[in-house]
């Protein structure tokens, strides 16, 4: 007898799965129809196939958006009978984060990718003209692959895709749980698993859509290049492809840098970039696409580098697919903090990568002799020569990053192939210091790119007279040298962590980045005669130079100000497995000002809000004039953290920063007291002392200096008639730290005696003024050293100088891409292509 489950909303899931299957079928029909448009010889037949292809693609678009709408509907209504809803959302989740939960998991992110393909496809339907059929064949086939990721059906015992509308009771991992077979199992589910705390940030709402638009747009240059090979129109495809390549480079670069901003504001990477494998997976295709854009420009003006352009456009999209495999197969689970877990689609992802990689490169190899090529060698004083050199440098950077990022893949290949056992090959280990590992190579890449970015604009295509080049570069070079010296001197640029050799590279990179900004700014007025509308490339290069400059200054002058001089966090405070440096973290007891750099920092408490699972910590900064004590600056930061969310032990912090024009103060919480910390069992011990006497404790000694007849204490409110006196105490620690305490003793109503202790929280030291002994001219102080105290936070704080140079550079670089796109789309006059073969009709392919 079939079980009837109570309270399930099955209709949305059934509709959702129906449209997921329909999108697969429609994209299959569109692919076949567009393919037949190219194969057909007769115009009537071509028109028929094209009409069918367009109808199928429109159905595909409607189906994808229907799946999107239904999935959001079940998320919004908290239908926890669906595994995707239960796994990624909860009732307490803010509405703005429902979109975050939509693409927080694999199925939703594939759907987001597919949505952007639909949007780009609509544009191509109206703009591609004669290239519609071949380009849309490629795009429709990509849609077919993405749609297969959402099917969740079994074919010959193999599961194809993962159905986002799978019911919780149908999930394989829950089959053996007895409660899901109960008719009323939904009554046992009061809430969902919730969104990963790291993802509950506004950046998660805006960053993934932009990044996936970058992923989706990378297929368009790939499709144009493949169409050119396929139809043997080896040169004609380059003109419509260039604006799309610029768009893809701009959007993907924007997505990458938005990820950096997210890391800076919301993750504890200690900055905006940590060479995390997922970061690298997005960066590498951008590098190769930028290389392809420059080789395409060289071809459009000279006829050189067409084969290189094919290669770079192909490899850029393949690297997007490879990055997808890395982040979604689970292979990076031990090396990246934000990769997906494996949902059993690793093989499908590899097939997806193979069906695009193999045909593209096979055609490139098979038809390499047909691709137009100019046999004459380029002059070393020509722009195209150095554009090609720059593209090779970008390729080298991409290879180094990809090789190291792929270490888990190499290990799996060695195991699967049996080579490790056969040749006794050791396990490859990721670098212990990834930042230094990448930086020691990439800094030289940055140097070369900075210098090329400065000089290439001044070169002419084909050849440039030596004297003319020298004359044009003389003033930019001298200005850049002077500016570099000034910045190095005033800024005291240093990076001695890795030795003197690295410092030399730092100064060369400083010159290269300044040179890129100065030379391109000068070129707008000397080379372009002030025609800003035509200066897209120069503007993008200025932005790139500022990005390099911002990275260099903010990294080399980054200062850790949360230095633990009292060594409070030694002896394994963070645990043996932690990579946290205890000397770079400062314990802040509540309401106790602690010196941190030029500031006194006070942890003033914490707060929570209804419906918000985060705890906000109030951290007050004060900066006073050491001469007269006048307040120079004060502000409050609110770093927050998720604590023990859903039973998971540990802390998930989000930073808080104070932004200035010339620097940022970046702080985040690294530890808070554990709820299971032992209660304090220490006892007060009495000491009779007179003025000038000392009391020793484990970390130093206390000196009784004087009595204060009008004491001031934060916990004492004097009332009329009180007889109050405070004991002025000086505390000296083994580390030469000095503190002041003033416990208070008072008599109220001539009867009641009270003692208000004073506390030195960093040392867990408590002192109580318990008696006055007038005959002995002494007082009695009681001292206690607590084993634990539970009212503190541990904070890490950096100063990032001139970080805004980086962000301004990113914005300027994006503006340069937009200007270049506008210029190309408007059909600005181009230099005629040299060495191109006559166009051939699509139907002759």
Instruction: Report pLDDT digits (tens) over 189-230.
Output: 888 888 877 677 777 888 899 999 999 999 999 999 999 999
Q: What is the pLDDT of residues 35-72, one digit of tens each?
A: 999 999 899 999 999 999 999 999 999 999 999 999 99
Q: What is the pLDDT of residues 252-277, one digit of tens each?
A: 999 999 988 888 877 656 678 888 88
Nearest in space to 31 (alpha carbons), one of 161, 134, 151: 134
Q: What's the confidence (pLDDT) of residue 416?
A: 78
* 425 Rama class: left (phi>0) / alpha (psi -120 to 50) / beta: beta
Q: How far is CA 118 from CA 56, 213, 843, in A?
A: 12, 11, 26
Average pLDDT over residues 546-557: 88
A 10 A CB-CB count for 493 gives: 18
Per-residue pLDDT band at 835 (split at 50, 70, 90): very low
Asked which of 591-605, 691-705, 818-832 is least confident by mean pLDDT, the reply is 818-832
Indicate whether 839 pLDDT > 50: no
- Let me know: does 783 contact 767? Beta carbons within 8 Å: yes
Cα–chain-centroid distance for residue 187? 39
Query: How far apart are alpha carbons 665 and 659 in whole angstroms?
Result: 7
Considering all CA atoms of the chain, what is the largest pairwise distance in Å, rounded to the nearest integer?
A: 121
What letter does residue 656 receive in the DSSP assignment?
E
- Let me know: does 436 contact 500? Beta carbons within 8 Å: no
Asked which of 56-60, 86-90, 141-145 is least confident by mean pLDDT, the reply is 86-90
- 3-class DSSP state for residue 591? coil
* 606 Rama class: left (phi>0) / alpha (psi -120 to 50) / beta: beta
Indicate whether 649 pLDDT > 80: no
Q: What's the confidence (pLDDT) of residue 422?
A: 79
How does the average pLDDT of the chain come out, rounded? 86
The set of residues, in sequence order, having a beta carbon less than 8 Å from that of 522 and lying 6+ positions away, is: 475, 476, 479
**Total residues found in the chain within this entry:** 845
Q: How far is CA 669 from CA 198, 787, 800, in A?
A: 14, 23, 17
Q: What's the confidence (pLDDT) of residue 844?
A: 33
Per-residue pLDDT band at 672 (split at 50, 70, 90): confident
- Let me know: does 614 contact 608? Beta carbons within 8 Å: yes
Q: What's the confidence (pLDDT) of residue 384?
A: 92
Find residue 576's DSSP bridge partners: none
Per-residue pLDDT band at 665 (split at 50, 70, 90): very high
* Percentage of residues of the chain with pLDDT beyond 70: 89
Average pLDDT over residues 434-447: 88
Indicate whether 646 pLDDT > 50: no
Q: What's the confidence (pLDDT) of residue 126?
A: 92
Q: What's the confidence (pLDDT) of residue 245?
A: 96
Q: What's the confidence (pLDDT) of residue 115?
A: 97
Query: How far apart are alpha carbons 38 and 45 in whole angstroms?
Result: 10
**Domain boundary assignment for the chain:** 1-199, 206-388, 431-557+802-829, 582-676+793-800, 685-789
Indicate whether 343 pLDDT > 80: no
Query: How far apart are alpha carbons 474 and 468 in whole angstroms?
Result: 10
* Percentage of residues of the chain with pLDDT beyond 90: 48
Q: What is the pLDDT of residues 757-799, one digit of tens each?
A: 888 877 778 899 998 998 888 999 999 887 666 678 999 998 9
Query: How far apart are alpha carbons 308 and 385 in whole angstroms?
Result: 12
Q: What's the confidence (pLDDT) of residue 836?
A: 43
Q: What's the confidence (pLDDT) of residue 134?
A: 96
Per-residue pLDDT band at 679 (split at 50, 70, 90): low
Indicate whether 496 pLDDT > 60: no
As separate numbers, helices (DSSP H) first and strands (DSSP E) second, the chain gives 20, 23
Indicate whether 177 pLDDT > 80: no
Q: What's the confidence (pLDDT) of residue 593?
A: 84
Q: What's the confidence (pLDDT) of residue 534?
A: 87
Q: What's the confidence (pLDDT) of residue 742?
A: 92
Q: What's the confidence (pLDDT) of residue 338?
A: 52
Cβ neighbourhood burial of 48 (10 Å; 0-12, 13-18, 19+): middle
**pTM over the 0.85 mark:** no
Per-residue pLDDT band at 719 (split at 50, 70, 90): confident
The set of residues, in sequence order, having a beta carbon less than 8 Å from that of 99 and lying 6+ positions away, is: 72, 205
Q: What's the confidence (pLDDT) of residue 834?
A: 44
Cα–chain-centroid distance for residue 244? 25
Q: What's the confidence (pLDDT) of residue 648?
A: 43
418 or 110, greater pLDDT: 110
152 or 762, greater pLDDT: 152
Asked which of 32-41, 426-435, 659-668 is least confident by mean pLDDT, the reply is 426-435
Q: What is the pLDDT of residues 347-395, one digit of tens each?
A: 788 899 999 999 999 999 999 999 998 887 788 899 999 999 999 999 9
Nearest in space to 367 (alpha carbons), one of 517, 234, 261: 234
Q: What's the confidence (pLDDT) of residue 845?
A: 33
Asked which of 308-322, 551-565, 598-612, 671-685 is least confident by mean pLDDT, the reply is 671-685
For the four alpha carbons of 670, 672, 678 and 679, in that order, the dihedral sign comes to: positive
Q: What is the pLDDT of residues 504-531, one digit of tens each?
A: 888 899 999 999 999 999 999 988 888 8
Nearest in space to 455 (alpha carbons), one of 406, 546, 519, 500: 519
Query: How far apart are alpha carbons 534 and 524 in whole angstroms?
Result: 9
- Let me know: does 299 contact 312? Beta carbons within 8 Å: no
Q: What's the confidence (pLDDT) of residue 537?
A: 93
């Amino acid at each position: 007898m079939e079980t009837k489950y109570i309270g399930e909303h099955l209709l949305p899931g059934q509709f959702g799965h129906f449209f997921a299957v329909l999108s697969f079928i429609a994209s299959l029909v569109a692919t076949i129809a567009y393919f037949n448009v190219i194969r057909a010889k007769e115009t009537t037949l071509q028109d028929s196939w094209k009409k069918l292809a367009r109808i199928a693609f429109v159905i595909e678009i409607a189906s994808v958006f229907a799946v999107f709408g239904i999935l959001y509907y079940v998320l919004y209504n908290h239908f926890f009978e669906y595994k995707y809803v239960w796994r990624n959302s909860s009732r307490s989740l803010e509405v703005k984060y429902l979109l975050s939960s939509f693409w927080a998991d694999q199925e939703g992110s594939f759907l987001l990718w597919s949505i952007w393909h639909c949007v780009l496809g609509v544009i191509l339907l109206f703009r591609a003209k004669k290239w519609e059929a071949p380009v849309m064949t490629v795009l429709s086939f990509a849609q077919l692959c993405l749609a297969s990721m959402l099917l969740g059906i079994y074919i010959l015992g193999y599961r194809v895709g993962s159905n986002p509308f799978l019911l919780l009771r149908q999930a394989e991992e829950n089959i053996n749980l007895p409660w899901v077979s109960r008719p009323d199992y939904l009554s046992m589910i009061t809430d969902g698993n919730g969104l990963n705390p790291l993802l509950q940030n506004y950046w998660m709402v805006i960053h993934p859509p932009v990044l996936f638009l970058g992923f989706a747009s990378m297929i368009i240059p790939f499709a144009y290049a493949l169409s050119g090979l396929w139809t043997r129109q080896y040169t004609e495809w380059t003109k419509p492809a260039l604006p799309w390549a610029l768009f893809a480079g701009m959007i993907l670069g924007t997505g990458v840098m938005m990820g950096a901003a997210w890391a800076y504001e919301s993750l504890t990477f200690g900055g905006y970039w940590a060479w995390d494998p997922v970061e690298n997976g997005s960066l590498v295709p951008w590098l190769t696409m930028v290389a392809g854009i420059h080789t395409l420009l060289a071809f459009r003006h000279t006829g050189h580098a067409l084969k290189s352009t094919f290669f770079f456009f192909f490899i850029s999209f393949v690297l997007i697919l490879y990055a997808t495999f890395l982040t979604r197969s689970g292979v990076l689970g031990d090396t990246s903090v934000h990769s997906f877990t494996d949902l059993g689609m690793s093989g499908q992802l590899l097939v997806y990568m193979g069906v695009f990689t193999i045909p593209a490169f096979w055609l490139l190899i098979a038809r390499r002799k047909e691709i137009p090529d100019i046999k004459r060698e380029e002059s070393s004083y020509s722009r195209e020569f150095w554009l090609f050199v720059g593209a090779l440098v970008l390729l080298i950077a991409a290879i180094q990053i990809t090789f190291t990022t792929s270490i888990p893949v190499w290990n799996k290949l060695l195991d699967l192939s049996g080579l490790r056992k056969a040749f006794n090959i050791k396990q490859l280990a990721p670098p212990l210091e990834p930042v230094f590992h990448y930086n020691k190579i990439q800094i030289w890449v940055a140097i070369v790119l900075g210098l090329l970015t400065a000089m290439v604009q001044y070169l002419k295509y084909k050849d440039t007279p030596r004297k003319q080049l020298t004359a044009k570069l003389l003033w930019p070079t001298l200005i850049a040298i002077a500016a570099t010296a000034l910045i190095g001197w005033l800024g005291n640029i240093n990076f001695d962590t890795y030795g003197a050799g690295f410092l030399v590279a730092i100064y060369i990179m400083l010159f290269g980045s300044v040179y890129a900004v100065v030379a391109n700014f000068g070129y707008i007025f000397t080379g372009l005669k002030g025609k800003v509308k035509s200066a897209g490339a120069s503007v993008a290069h200025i932005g790139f130079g500022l990005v390099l400059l911002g990275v260099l200054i903010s990294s080399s002058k980054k200062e850790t100000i949360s230095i633990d001089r009292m060594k409070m966090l030694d002896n394994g405070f963070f645990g043996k497995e932690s990579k946290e440096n205890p000397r770079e973290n400062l314990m802040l007891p509540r309401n106790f000002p602690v010196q941190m750099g030029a500031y006194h920092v006070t942890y003033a408490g914490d707060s929570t809000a209804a419906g918000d699972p985060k705890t906000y910590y109030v951290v007050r900064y004060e900066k006073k004039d050491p001469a007269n004590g006048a307040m120079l600056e004060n502000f409050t930061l609110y770093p927050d953290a998720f604590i023990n969310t859903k039973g998971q032990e540990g802390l998930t912090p989000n930073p808080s920063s104070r932004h200035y024009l010339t620097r940022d103060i970046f702080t985040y919480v690294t530890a808070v007291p554990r709820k299971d910390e032992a209660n304090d069992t220490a006892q007060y011990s009495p000491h009779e002392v007179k003025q000038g006497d000392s009391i020793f404790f484990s970390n130093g000694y206390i000196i009784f200096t004087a009595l204060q007849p009008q004491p001031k204490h934060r916990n004492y409110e004097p009332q009329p008639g009180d007889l109050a006196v405070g004991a002025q105490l000086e505390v000296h620690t083994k580390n030469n730290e000095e503190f002041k305490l003033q416990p208070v003793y008072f008599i109220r109503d001539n009867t009641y005696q009270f003692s208000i202790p004073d506390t030195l929280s960093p040392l867990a030291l408590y002192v109580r003024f318990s008696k006055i002994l007038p005959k002995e001219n002494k007082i009695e102080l009681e001292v206690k050293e607590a084993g634990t105290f539970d009212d503190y936070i541990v904070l890490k704080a950096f100063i990032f100088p001139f970080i805004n140079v980086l962000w301004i550079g990113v914005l300027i670089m994006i503006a340069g891409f937009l200007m270049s796109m506008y210029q190309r789309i408007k059909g600005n006059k181009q230099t005629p292509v040299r060495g191109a073969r006559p166009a051939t009709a699509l139907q002759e392919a």
